[in-house]
Chains A and B, each alone.
Chain A
Amino acid sequence: MEYPGTENAVKEVLKILGVTVVMDPDQTCCAGYVLTCSGYLPTAPLAVTARNLALVEQKGLDTYVFCNGCFGYIRELSHILCSHPHYLEMSNQLIGRWGYKYEGTTRVFHVQELYALLKDRIAEHVVRPLTGLRVAAHYGCHYLAQQYGMVDDGDLPTFHEELFDIMGATPVFYKERRMCCGYSVGRGFTHNEELVQPHLARKFESARDERVELMTTVCPGCNVALDREQPNMIKRGLDGLNIPVIDLSQLVALALGVPIRKLGFDANTTSLDGVVKKLGIEKGS
Chain B
Amino acid sequence: MRERGKTALVVGGGPAGLESAVKIGQAGYRALLVEKEPTLGGYLGKLCKTFPRLENPHDLLDTKIGLLEKISTITVLTDTTVSAVQRKGDTFTARLTTGAISTDAEVEVEAVVLATGFDYYDVSRYGEYGYGVYPGVMNSVEFEARLKEWSSRQINAKPPGAVAFIQCVGSRDPSKGYPYCSKICCMYSAKQAFLIKELFPETNCYVFYMDYRAAGKEYEEFVRSVIEQKHVRYVRGRPAKVFPNNGRLEVRAEDTLMGSPVEVEVDMVILAGAIIPREETIQLAQKLGVATDNYGFLEHEFGSPATAGDGIFFAGGCGFAVEIQGALEQGAAAAAEVSAFFSEVPEGRN
> Which one of B50-58, B69-77, B126-134, B334-342 contacts A?
B126-134
Do A156 and B133 touch across chains, with their CB atoms under 8 A apart?
yes
- With A155-B127, A156-B130 already in contact, the answer to whether A175 and B175 are too (CB < 8 A) is no
Do A153 and B127 touch across chains, with their CB atoms under 8 A apart?
yes
Chain B residue nearest in CB terms to A176: B243
Do A155 and B128 touch across chains, with their CB atoms under 8 A apart?
yes
Q: Is A147 an interface residue (CB 8 A)?
A: yes
Give B205-246 as 1s and 0s: 1 = Cβ < 8 Å from A's Cβ atoms: 000000000000000000000000000000000000101010
Chain B residue nearest in CB terms to A153: B127
- A154 in complex: contacting residue of B127, B133, B243, CB < 8 Å: B127
Instruction: Report the contact-size class of chain B (Cβ under 8 Å from the partner).
Output: under 10
Q: B133: which A residues are within 8 A, CB to CB? A: 156
Do A156 and B175 touch across chains, with their CB atoms under 8 A apart?
no
Cβ of B124 to closest chain A Cβ, rounded Å? 9
Q: B245: which A residues are within 8 A, CB to CB? A: 175
Cβ of A204 to closest chain B Cβ, rounded Å? 17
- Expressed in whole angstroms, the Cα–Cα distance for A153 and B130 within the complex equals 11
- Expressed in whole angstroms, the Cα–Cα distance for A178 and B127 within the complex equals 12
Chain A residue nearest in CB terms to B243: A175
Centre residue among A154, A156, A175, A178 by max chain B CB count within 10 A: A156
Q: A178: which B residues are within 8 A, CB to CB? A: 241
Chain A residue nearest in CB terms to B176: A147
Q: B243: which A residues are within 8 A, CB to CB? A: 175
- CB contacts under 8 Å to B, within A165-199, are 175, 178
Centre residue among B126, B127, B175, B245 by max chain A CB count within 10 A: B127
Cβ of B86 to closest chain A Cβ, rounded Å? 40
Cβ of A184 to closest chain B Cβ, rounded Å? 22
Cβ of B315 to closest chain A Cβ, rounded Å? 38
Q: A156: which B residues are within 8 A, CB to CB? A: 127-128, 130, 133
Q: A155: which B residues are within 8 A, CB to CB? A: 126-128, 241
Do A147 and B175 touch across chains, with their CB atoms under 8 A apart?
yes
- CB contacts under 8 Å to A, within B224-275, are 241, 243, 245
Chain A residue nearest in CB terms to B245: A175
Chain A residue nearest in CB terms to B242: A155
- Expressed in whole angstroms, the Cα–Cα distance for A157 and B128 within the complex equals 10
Q: A154: which B residues are within 8 A, CB to CB? A: 127-128
- Expressed in whole angstroms, the Cα–Cα distance for A130 and B241 within the complex equals 32
Chain B residue nearest in CB terms to A152: B127
- CB contacts under 8 Å to B, within A120-171, are 147, 153-157
- Expressed in whole angstroms, the Cα–Cα distance for A153 and B127 within the complex equals 6
Q: B126: which A residues are within 8 A, CB to CB? A: 155
- CB contacts under 8 Å to A, within B108-140, are 126-128, 130, 133
- Expressed in whole angstroms, the Cα–Cα distance for A196 and B126 within the complex equals 29
Binding site for B on A (CB under 8 A): 147, 153-157, 175, 178
Known A154-B128, A155-B128; 12 more pairs at CB < 8 Å: A147-B175, A154-B127, A155-B127, A155-B241, A156-B127, A156-B128, A156-B130, A156-B133, A157-B127, A175-B243, A175-B245, A178-B241
> 16 A-B residue contacts at CB 8 Å?
A147-B175, A153-B127, A154-B127, A154-B128, A155-B126, A155-B127, A155-B128, A155-B241, A156-B127, A156-B128, A156-B130, A156-B133, A157-B127, A175-B243, A175-B245, A178-B241
| 10 tightest Cβ-Cβ pairs between the two chains A and B | A153-B127, A156-B127, A155-B128, A155-B127, A175-B245, A156-B130, A156-B133, A155-B241, A154-B127, A175-B243
